[in-house]
Amino acid sequence: MISKRIIPCLDVMNGRVVKGVNFKEIKDMADPVEMARWYSEAGADELVFYDITASYEGRKLFTDVLRAVASQIFIPLTVGGGINSLDDFDTVLKSGADKVSINSGAIKDPSLISAAAKRYGSQCVVLSMDVKRVGGKFRVFANGGRIGTGIDALEWAKRGEYLGAGEIVLNSIDTDGVRGGFDIPMLRAIGETVSIPLIASGGAGKKEDFLELFRYDRIDAGLAAGIFHTKKVDIRDLKDYLRGCGVNVRL
């Protein structure tokens, strides 16, 4: 049976891995290639590589950094940031990405999801959603969490699945960087809406948070950045712990 996945996320800005709190207060962390290699050896099941300011600044993702990572890391690699067209898909896939994460680009033009799924297959199209509670409802935000779209997150998830997204990454802006645990109520709301794999993001602070996450069987993977980058949680220790608690993980 397939394992639950542990996915470190490398937020990249100007060719360096950075980490923010609540999508703000950006801090410099490491070289992406060194960090990716380290994670691959440490037992990460997959890596996500976001160019966090590409969409905001309206430029293309740095393919040179991506190529450098992809030529040395032999686990699945998802890439996002500034993906707005099929040409962008083409560029990152040819630079070594296995999956492409779309967020603001899909909000601007939802047909990008269906066009990409048709050309590259659904397994290649990851719909990344930045979601925040507004007036008791889950709402989708664009441009790295900067712009409220007013779109209902449940409807957007359902539409994404219908259009051909193969996975959803749900980033809770409310719990991002706070390290108080994943946003289980938000994840449950989306998990009951779609049947494609769901990756939880935002809020991991300790090993126990992942156990709580995987107790909800609709979750396929847990994504985190800060706690892995700072070595607060070691991926191998985390997986040992999860396996001891009966979670199926790759060791």
Partner 1 sequence: MIAVVDYGVGNLFSLTSSLRFIGLDCMVTCNKKELLNAERIILPGVGAFGDAMAKLRESGLEDTVKELAEVKPLLGICLGMQLLFDKSCEHGEHKGLGLIPGEVSPLAADIDLSLKVPHMGWNKLEIVRNDPIFKYSDNGEWVYYVHSYYAKKCSDYILGVSEYGVTVTGLVRSDSGMIYGMQFHPEKSGEAGLRLLKAFSEI
Tell me how far apart the alpha carbons of residues 146 and 167 are, in angstroms, rounded to a whole number.
Answer: 23
Establish if 193 lies at the interface with partner 1 (CB under 8 A). Answer: no
CB of 26 to partner 1, least distance (A): 29
Among 28, 34, 57, 71, binds partner 1 (CB under 8 A): 71
45, 51, 88, 130: which is the annotated catalytic residue? Answer: 130
Stretch near partner 1 under the rule CB under 8 A, chosen from 14-22, 67-75, 204-212, 235-243: 67-75
**Structural element, H or E, at residue 104:** helix 104-108
Residue 58: burial class (beta carbons within 10 Å; 0-12, 13-18, 19+): exposed
User: Which residue has 């300790």 as its token pair?
Assistant: 206
Among 84, 122, 171, 201, binds partner 1 (CB under 8 A): 122
Among 30, 75, 151, 189, binds partner 1 (CB under 8 A): 75
Catalytic status, residue 237: no
Establish if 246 lies at the interface with partner 1 (CB under 8 A). Answer: no
Alpha-carbon torsion (12, 125, 247, 194), positive or negative:
positive
Establish if 86 lies at the interface with partner 1 (CB under 8 A). Answer: no
Question: Regarding beta strands 198-201 and 219-224, do their DSSP bridges make them parallel or antiparallel, or are they unpaired?
Answer: parallel
Among 28, 64, 109, 123, binds partner 1 (CB under 8 A): 123
Hey, what amino acid is at 3?
Answer: S
* Residue 185: CB atoms within 10 Å: 11
Active-site amino acid positions:
11, 130
